[in-house]
Chains A and B, each alone.
Chain A
Amino acid sequence: SAVISQKPSRDICQRGTSLTIQCQVDSQVTMMFWYRQQPGQSLTLIATANQGSEATYESGFVIDKFPISRPNLTFSTLTVSNMSPEDSSIYLCSVEGTGGPRTQYFGPGTRLLVL
Chain B
Amino acid sequence: QKEVEQNSGPLSVPEGAIASLNCTYSDRGSQSFFWYRQYSGKSPELIMFIYSNGDKEDGRFTAQLNKASQYVSLLIRDSQPSDSATYLCAVNFVGRGSQGNLIFGKGTKLSVKP
Contacts and interface: CB of A to CB of B under 8 A. Distances in A.
B49 interface: yes
A45 B101 contact: yes
Contacts of B42: 108-109
Nearest to A100: B49
A43 interface: yes
Contact of A42 (B34, B51, B92, B106): B106
Nearest to A108: B43
A102 B100 CA distance: 7
Interface residues of B, number: 22
B102 A106 contact: no
A26 interface: no
Nearest to B101: A45
B101 A48 contact: yes
Contacts of A109: 42-43
A60 interface: no
B44 interface: yes
A100 B107 contact: no
A31 B99 contact: yes
Interface of B: 31-32, 34, 42-46, 49, 51, 88, 90, 92, 99-107
22 contacts: A31-B99, A42-B104, A43-B44, A43-B102, A43-B104, A44-B104, A48-B101, A99-B49, A101-B31, A101-B51, A102-B31, A102-B32, A102-B102, A103-B34, A103-B46, A103-B49, A104-B34, A104-B102, A106-B44, A106-B45, A108-B42, A109-B43
